Amino acid sequence: MNEPVFVIPLWADLIAVGLGGIQGALFASGFRGDRRLDFLGVAIIGIVVGMGGGLIRDLLLNVTPTTLQSNWYLLTATGAALVGMLLAGVFQRVNAVILGLDALVIGMFGAFGTSKALVVGLPPVPAIFVGVCAAVGGGILRDVIMGLPVAIMHVGSLYAVAAGVGCLVLAATHALGVDIVVASIIGIVVTTVIRLLAVIFDISLPEQRALYRRKVAVETTAIPIIKP
Amino acid sequence: MNEPVFVIPLWADLIAVGLGGIQGALFASGFRGDRRLDFLGVAIIGIVVGMGGGLIRDLLLNVTPTTLQSNWYLLTATGAALVGMLLAGVFQRVNAVILGLDALVIGMFGAFGTSKALVVGLPPVPAIFVGVCAAVGGGILRDVIMGLPVAIMHVGSLYAVAAGVGCLVLAATHALGVDIVVASIIGIVVTTVIRLLAVIFDISLPEQRALYRRKVAVETTAIPIIKP
Amino acid sequence: MNEPVFVIPLWADLIAVGLGGIQGALFASGFRGDRRLDFLGVAIIGIVVGMGGGLIRDLLLNVTPTTLQSNWYLLTATGAALVGMLLAGVFQRVNAVILGLDALVIGMFGAFGTSKALVVGLPPVPAIFVGVCAAVGGGILRDVIMGLPVAIMHVGSLYAVAAGVGCLVLAATHALGVDIVVASIIGIVVTTVIRLLAVIFDISLPEQRALYRRKVAVETTAIPIIKP
């Protein structure tokens, strides 16, 4: 399967990878005690967050990973992780920087994922799915490798929703005839804004609920209730 | 690598995905306290369980994931997860439904995995392996994403064994000249029955044992004994 | 993407898979109590450690996994895991055997990964990355599936560094015109020696540090400090 001329310019891709690398390093450098990471661990997390989204996207599309076709991706992700690590003290005082960075990175990975999937010929629903996986995949890999609870699975995130709405808007505007580059920019903006608003106003999804009384149901079920 | 005309009809594939989605949602809705999931989390688990097996199969075969070639897979998995969530109270009273559903899903994913692998040209042993990975892969992904111990790794499961025997019977009957569709149906029945018998009669594999006294060996080893 | 005539002979590949399988089984058989594994669990870990590196390599390169093209890989990994399990009592007394085996396995997977990536046409930096992923990937999968902290992420490993330096030397000597087979052997030796020296002399990387006082930075950050 050879993809035709594709739309993501190298510089845009490298910006996403670099921002992801910085974000990953900032995250990783917040750990102490038994979970503290050495230089290498921080670099690995930077690479995972910076490159994970693109790798997952290309695995799902069954195309050769773009991030491995050039030396620049790994050099950018590693360099960004080192910068992030050294400047962690500064950035962590400016919490808004971390959150803004994170929102932008999700938006970019999501938009690149969905637009590449559309160009490769996927129908809109799986194209949106690929975008969401690309947006949140780096974070999931990061959490799994660090042995943390996967952030997007727990109440209060709106993380994947922000990515999903941005990718949906991208696919919809593109279906309406808007150029894929313009549609991608719209998608990035939508995701970033939703994510930032969700953080600022502390919005979260309602907890799941069933049509029947849960207390009784749970007490009679054989499915184990796992306690941490 | 282009696969030739392949045998799994869309409706059969969608049934497996839908049953997987319901099963995933029932599982996810059993969680409380710190581990409770929001709507989105339950939908994600439904998608992971419903589509994970097919994705892992196609990644291992290096073919473009079938589940991303049509809008129906994601819509089915998501819809099934929502149904499963809303009806969790009902289904959980009927524990046999959950277990039966689970056994059937393992059987279908295993049979589809092995038959697709055989059609694509893999030798029998890796074809059986792909089937087992497809059968248990969704559950492994689910456990990893939810931060649970991976169920198939611990004493008392017989989960992977049921899948393995079904896939083995499928590959063997196909090698003997039986049509792949008939062989697949036999494989599904074998896996489902073994799994149900294992649950009903509480069968498990013997614990591992070494040729030498373990107590002494363990006390003199440098391999860390991890305590939970 | 069809790879041209490739360099890894089957016997060399099977030796790496078999040693990985033994190493995985020795590791898995060290567990007791709630984490004890049954026969199947030990076999799974053997397969994961023995075949995980090759699978990850081929997924990243987007080529059909070599380990699934022949019956021998799975038979070797499973057989090696059973041998490892039965002889665990003997091997665990000779701790040096486990460590030496492990160092050799990392070296082989790393060298096979980087050399295959170079033959397939990747630039040197991603080729080294693929080698490191192949070398440490099996161990990461093992830890994730067993619910353990991922070993390479924590202070004191030098695991990935050993693999990285070996793969770097391989890529550099190959770039200087050395035959890929010779370069691979050099790479294996370099990785194995570094890993063994790191264990013998208990070398580790310095902990990460920032340019600014960390204590203050941490206290003012909003990034959660996770406690185990």
pLDDT digits (tens, 9 = 90+) for B66-97: 999 999 999 999 999 988 888 877 766 666 77
Residue C91 located in a structural domain: yes
In angstroms, how far is the first alpha carbon of chain B from the final one?
45
**Residue A227 resides in a domain:** no
Question: Which of C144, C210, C224 is nearest residue A86 as measured by Cβ atoms?
Answer: C210
Decide if A191 contacts A103 (C-beta within 8 A). Answer: yes
C218: confidence class by pLDDT, cuts 50, 70, 90: very low
Whole-number average pLDDT of chain C: 81
pLDDT range class, residue C5, cuts 50, 70, 90? very low
Phi and psi (nearest 5°) for A94? -105, 75
pLDDT tens column, B156-184? 557 888 999 999 999 999 999 999 999 99
Minimal C-alpha gap between B150 and chain A (Å): 13
Tell me how far the alpha carbon of residue B209 is from its chain's centroid.
27
DSSP string, C47-113: HHHHHHHHHHHHHHHTS--GGGSSTHHHHHHHHHHHHHHHTHHHHHH-HHHHHHHHHHHHHHHHHHH
With tokens 């930077």, the residue in question is A46
| Average pLDDT over chain B, rounded to an integer | 81
Nearest to C150 by CA among B133, B44, A45: A45
Residues 6+ apart with CB under 8 A from B94: none
Tens digits of residue pLDDT in B32-45: 555 566 778 888 88
Q: Are A19 and A105 in contact (CB under 8 A)?
A: yes
pLDDT band for C48, please (50, 70, 90 cuts).
very high
Q: Which of C114, C122, C226 to mutate to test the interface with A (most CBs of A within 10 A)?
A: C226
Is B176 contained in some domain? yes
Q: Let me know if residue A3 belongs to a domain.
A: no
Structure tokens at C132: 């490191």
Give dist(CA B210, CA C37) in Å, integer: 12
Q: Who among A210, A211, A222 is closest to B95 (CB)? A: A222
Size of interface B-C (CB pairs under 8 A): 134
* Crossing angle between the packed helical segments B124-146 and C72-86, to the nearest 10 degrees: 60
Domain-embedded: residue B227: no
Q: What angle do CA A212, A213, A214 make, to 5 degrees?
A: 105
Mark yes or no for CB contact C154/A40 under 8 Å: no
In the structure, what pLDDT confidence band is assigned to residue C86 with cuts at 50, 70 and 90? confident
Greatest alpha-carbon span in chain B? 58
Lowest-confidence segment of A116-120, A138-142, A183-187 by average pLDDT: A138-142
Q: How far is A17 from chain B (nearest CA, A)?
A: 23
Q: How far apart (Å, rounded) are the C-alpha atoms in residues C196 and C68?
A: 31
- Residue B74, token pair as written in the block: 């994601």
In this structure, what are the phi and psi dihedrals at residue A207, rounded to the nearest 5 degrees? Answer: -65, 155
Residue contact B89–A220, C-beta within 8 A: no
CB contact under 8 A, A92 and C154: no
For residue A216, name the pLDDT band (cuts at 50, 70, 90): very low
Under an 8 A CB cutoff, do B155 and C63 touch?
Answer: no
Which among C35, C65, C69 has CB closest to B226?
C35
The identity of residue B57, as a single letter, is: R
Q: How many domains does chain B have?
A: 1
pLDDT at residue number C51: 93
A195, containing H or E segment: helix A180-201
Quick one: what percent of chain C has pLDDT higher than 70? 78
- CB contact under 8 Å between C38 and B206, yes or no, is yes
In the predicted model, what is the mean pLDDT of chain A? Answer: 81
Shortest distance, CA B226 to any CA of chain C (angstroms):
7
Residue C205 pLDDT > 70? no
Cα–Cα distance for residue pair C118/C126, rounded to 1 Å: 9
Cβ contacts of C148 within 8 Å, gap of 6 or more = B226, C142
User: pLDDT tens for residues C122-132?
Assistant: 999 999 999 99
What phi and psi, each to the nearest 5 degrees, are found at residue B198? -60, -40
Chain C residues with beta carbon closer than 8 angstroms to that of A29: 208, 210
Residues of chain A found within 8 Å of residue C203, distances taken between Cβ atoms? none
| Min Cα–Cα distance to chain C from A107, Å | 21
Amino acid at C133: C
C-beta atoms of A44 and C160 within 8 A? yes
Q: How confident is the model at residue C188 (pLDDT cuts 50, 70, 90)?
A: very high
Name the residue with tokens 């930075």.
Answer: C217
Q: Which residues share a beta bridge with A38? A: C207
Q: How far apart are CA B76 and CA B20, in angstroms?
A: 10
Residue B223 and residue C92: Cβ atoms within 8 Å? yes
Nearest to B62 among C64, C87, C95 (CB): C64
Q: A220: which 2 tokens?
A: 């009679």
Total residues found in chain C within this entry: 228
Whether residue B3 is contained in a domain is answered as: no
At B30 the three-state DSSP class reads coil
- Going through chain A in order, the beta strands assigned E by DSSP cover none
Whether the CB-CB separation of B155 and B207 falls below 8 Å is answered with yes
Q: What's the distance, CA C204 to chain centroid?
A: 18
Please report the pLDDT score of residue C121 as a whole number: 93
In whole angstroms, what is the distance from residue A70 CA to residue A75 CA? 10
Contacts of A220 in chain B (CB under 8 A): 92-93
Reported in sequence order, the residue ranges of chain C that DSSP labels E, i.e. its strands, are: none
Minimal-distance CA residue of chain B relative to A142? B145
The tokens of C223 are what?
A: 């990034």
Section B105-111 average pLDDT: 93
What is the predicted pLDDT for the residue at C145?
Answer: 87
pTM exceeding the 0.95 threshold for the entire prediction:
no
- In chain A, which residue's Cα lies nearest the Cα of C130? A68
Give the N- to C-terminal CA distance of chain A in Å, as an integer. Answer: 45
Contact partners of C by the rule of 3+ C-beta pairs under 8 A?
A: A, B
DSSP label of C207: B
Q: How distant is the Cα of B173 from the closest Cα of chain A, in angstroms?
A: 31
Over residues A60-77, mean pLDDT: 94
Whole-number Å distance between alpha carbons of B20 and A178: 37
Q: Are A44 and C152 in contact (CB under 8 A)?
A: yes
**A200 CA: distance to closest CA in chain C (Å):** 14
**Per-residue pLDDT at A2:** 42
| Rounded Cα–Cα distance for residues A140 and A137 (Å) | 5
How distant is the Cα of A70 from the closest Cα of chain C, in angstroms?
A: 6
Kindly report which listed range (A152-161, A200-209, B208-217, C148-157) carries the lowest average pLDDT score. B208-217
What whole-number distance in Å separates Cα of residue A88 and Cα of residue A85?
Answer: 5
C223: nearest CA in chain A? A30
The chain A residue lying nearest C143, using CA atoms, is A145
**Rounded (5°) CA angle A79-A84-A87:** 125
Determine the average pLDDT of the residues in A143-171: 83
Residue B146: its pLDDT value, please?
Answer: 84
Across A172-194, average pLDDT:
94
User: Rounded distance, CA B69 to CA B67, Å?
Assistant: 6
pLDDT at res. A87: 81
Q: Give the residue-averaged pLDDT of C167-172.
A: 97
HSE-up (13 A, CA, CB side) for residue C108: 24
Looking at per-residue pLDDT, the higher value among C120 and B149 belongs to C120
* Candidates A2, A66, A87, A92, partner chain C, best to mutate (most C CBs within 10 A): A92
Q: Give the domain extent around C119.
A: 10-219
C2 assigned to some structural domain: no
Contact list in A for residue C57 (CB cut-off 8 A) is none
Q: What whole-number percentage of chain A has pLDDT above 90?
A: 46
> What ipTM did this prediction achieve?
0.81
Q: d(Cα A46, Cα B133) in Å, to the nearest integer?
A: 30
Residue C226 lies in a domain: no
Which of C154, C222, C223 lies at the smallest CB-CB distance from A41?
A: C154
Residue A94's contacts (CB-CB under 8 Å, 6 or more residues apart) are none
